[in-house]
Chain A
Amino acid sequence: MTAAPSYDVAAPPSRRRAVVRGFAGRAGLLGVLTLALVVALVLGAGHGQLSIAPAEVLGSFFHRIGLDWGPMPTHPRGDDTLWQVRFPRVALAALAGASLATAGALMQGVFGNPLAEPGVVGVSSGAAVAAASVIVFDVDFAGTWTIAICAFIGGLVTTMLVYVMSRDGGRTEVVTLVLTGIALNAMTSAALAFLMFLGDQQAREEIVFWTLGSLNGSRWEYVGVVAPLAGVGIAAALLLSRQLDLLSLGDRAARHVGVDVERLRLGTIVVVAVLTAAAVSFCGIIAFVGLVVPHLIRMVAGPGHRLLVPASALGGAVLLVVADLWARTAIAYADLPIGMLTSLVGGPFFFWLLRRARRTSGGWA
């Protein structure tokens, strides 16, 4: 163009520096989050009724994997406490947090809407209904996996429902999405209430534990089910991330740059259901993690999904390990439900996001 500012076409040094800076920033953010996760895991494993020093936590871990590093716990029951109670618990917290945050980032990408989240739109409670049915009707066809499989199916059905009901003319409006969430949450609470009515005393208690969300009673057996689900889900999310960037152009424009939109959507919904099932199967409903974490990451690192997805996974893990630590230690000898805590913090955050979305788009649309 005639009056265009001069622009060095052959990749100027500033551009190259920007690329290098981009890589450094990417590695830096992921590095910081990994470090934070390690610190959170060690502190989380050390704190509780029996306090174990961080060095002893690391020592116990290294000794178990065959390395003669660091001191062993001095308390006679320290090592057992770590390996039977604490480690499975922090591992489950980290996996559930990573799954929920990744599921949130994916849902926001696929709906093109920063307010989509498995808890808010009712996907988590859909998965919870399926899992509660397993408890009440005593279904067992795959051992420990039964609950996870049913939660996956419940999550998949609800995600599909949300998708079909809240989309109109190729876009999802905030109002429609939130109202769809209200409707779905109303239906799932009714279903949960009915299941509680049907169930016996023990089933009722289990369902209540579920809806509040808790990591109490975590076992290695559970970690063995959740870890592969979370691993597969997060790996698939990383593969989808490049195309999710393009989807933010809108359905038509994304198709014009070569995205098979329907296939991408369907694939993403299945991955969201896998991740939600991973989190919900043994930890119950823990809302707002998928909303808060990707949002904070976007503020720091921008909206590109190739960094957003792995950073959200790490950030979600950190958040839930810390939140669980707080849930266990805030009140002495009490184990607060973690879902209650995340909602307590996430609710106001959601409200703030709603206000902001309303301001920036000049209305509720």
Chain B
Amino acid sequence: MSLVAHDVGVTLGGACILDGVDLAVGEGEVVALVGPNGAGKSTLLAVLSGDIEPAHGTVTLDDVPLAEHSARALARRRAVLLQHQGLAFGFRVEDVVRMGRSPWHRTDREDDDDRVVADSLARADVAGLAQRHFPTLSGGEQGRTSFARVLAQETPIVLLDEPTAALDIRHQEALLSVARDAARDGASVVVVLHDLSLAAAYADRVCVLSRGRVRADGAPTVVLTSELLSEVYEHPVDVIEHAGSLVVVPVRQEAPCMRA
């Protein structure tokens, strides 16, 4: 276990966002964080990435508290894709992806920069956009460019906050396949997802958060049940098996378009 959160509590503006959360991420696994709005998914990811210091509990990377790693040392161990990407100036896509190489500046791995950048552009399917200016891209294209930057960082831990939110179906599947492949090669991947069917298909483990606590944590087939999801989301949910994978759909009284 390389990245471990133990008994983490976070309070923001008087509201308790996370309370007694335990999560350990091992090598070679994809962990999906799911849960309703305001359950604390993004906050937990921010705690894991070192952006938020928990008021209670500890987060350790290789048995050393996160706060004791320097910014540069952390950047060589974990990469983060945020929900919203901004860029103050009009850099080209290739320049943005190259920014992911900066933790390796003045090390032997700097020699790989060109190869890794080209490789990351291709894996995130933005090679064709390499010379475009970032602010002129669509939301989905910006998201994929930022994902390429995360890949270029070549870290053993990858944290992704709703990476599929702005993507079309093809790119959702492609992005999570790349994340899967990274895990197969030994990386630890934590990904916040809203689409439970995607979580079922690509995650080794699903961690369900509800009101700042871990409600369930385990293999998708164990965790993603109709009873648990209906309770957590406060809406009846069906889990069905389709072509060997789980599909999660909300139960509707009658087809909405049929309503008089």
**Residues of A with Cβ closer than 8 Å to B?**
1-5, 7-11, 15, 109, 112-114, 171, 242, 245-250, 252-253, 255-261, 298, 302-304, 360
* Bound Cα distance from A261 to B72, whole angstroms: 11
Known: A245-B99, A256-B80; 15 extra A-B contacts, CB below 8 A, are A5-B122, A7-B118, A11-B114, A11-B118, A15-B118, A245-B91, A246-B102, A248-B88, A253-B80, A253-B85, A255-B50, A256-B79, A257-B99, A258-B75, A261-B71
Is the contact region of chain A dominated by helix, strand, or loop, or is it mixed? loop
The complex places the Cα of A261 from the Cα of B70 at a distance, in Å, of: 12
Residues of B210-254 at the interface with A, using a CB-CB cut-off of 8 Å, are none
Q: Could you say which residues of chain B place their CB within 8 Å of the CB of A258? A: 71-72, 74-76, 102-103
* A contact residues around B105 at 8 Å (CB): 242
Task: For A255, give its contact among B71, B85, B122 (CB under 8 Å).
Answer: B71
A249 to B80, Cβ gap below 8 A? no
Specify the chain B residue showing the minimal Cβ separation from A110.
Answer: B88
Interface Cβ pair total, 8 Å cutoff? 110
Complex CA–CA separation, A208 to B103 (angstroms): 50
Q: 8 closest pairs, A vs B, by CB? A: A258-B75, A112-B88, A303-B89, A248-B88, A258-B72, A1-B174, A258-B103, A7-B127
Q: Is there an interface contact between A248 and B100, defined as CB atoms closer than 8 Å?
A: no
Tell me how far the C-beta of B18 lies from the nearest C-beta in chain A, rounded to whole angstroms.
Answer: 18
Q: Which residues of A sit under 8 angstroms from B82, Cβ to Cβ?
A: 250, 252-253, 256
Whether A257 touches B102, Cβ cut-off 8 Å, given contacts A1-B178, A5-B127, A11-B114, is yes
19 example contacts (A-B, Cβ-Cβ < 8 A) are as follows A1-B174, A3-B170, A4-B123, A4-B125, A7-B121, A11-B118, A171-B86, A242-B102, A246-B99, A247-B88, A248-B88, A250-B88, A256-B79, A257-B75, A257-B100, A259-B71, A302-B91, A302-B95, A303-B90
- Knowing A1-B177, A249-B99, A304-B95, the reply to whether A256 touches B87 (Cβ < 8 A) is no
B residues sitting closer than 8 Å to A (CB atoms) are 49-51, 70-72, 74-76, 78-80, 82, 85-92, 95-96, 99-100, 102-103, 105, 114-115, 118-119, 121-125, 127-128, 135, 146, 149, 153, 170, 174, 177-178
**With contacts A3-B170, A245-B99, A256-B49 known, is A11 near B115, CB below 8 A?**
yes
| Beta-carbon contact of A9 and B71 below 8 Å | no
> A276: shortest Cβ distance to chain B, in Å?
21
Contacts of B178 in A (CB 8 A): 1
Complexed CA–CA distance, A248 and B170 (Å): 30
Known contacts A5-B127, A5-B128, A9-B122; is-contact A304 B72 (Cβ 8 Å): no
**Cβ A298 vs Cβ B85 within 8 A:** no
Asked whether, in the complex, the Cβ of B71 is within 8 Å of the Cβ of A8, the reply is no
What residues of chain B lie closer than 8 Å to A360, measured between beta carbons?
135
Across-interface contacts of B79 in A (CB, < 8 A): 256-257
Whether B71 lies near A248 (C-beta < 8 A) is no
Residues of B within 8 A of A11 (CB): 114-115, 118
Set of chain B residues within 8 Å of A4, measured between Cβ atoms = 122-123, 125, 127
Q: Which residues of B contact A7 (CB under 8 A)?
A: 118, 121-122, 127
Nearest-CB distance from B139 to chain A (Å)?
Answer: 14
Residue of A nearest to B74 (CB): A258
Cβ–Cβ contact B115 & A9, under 8 A:
yes
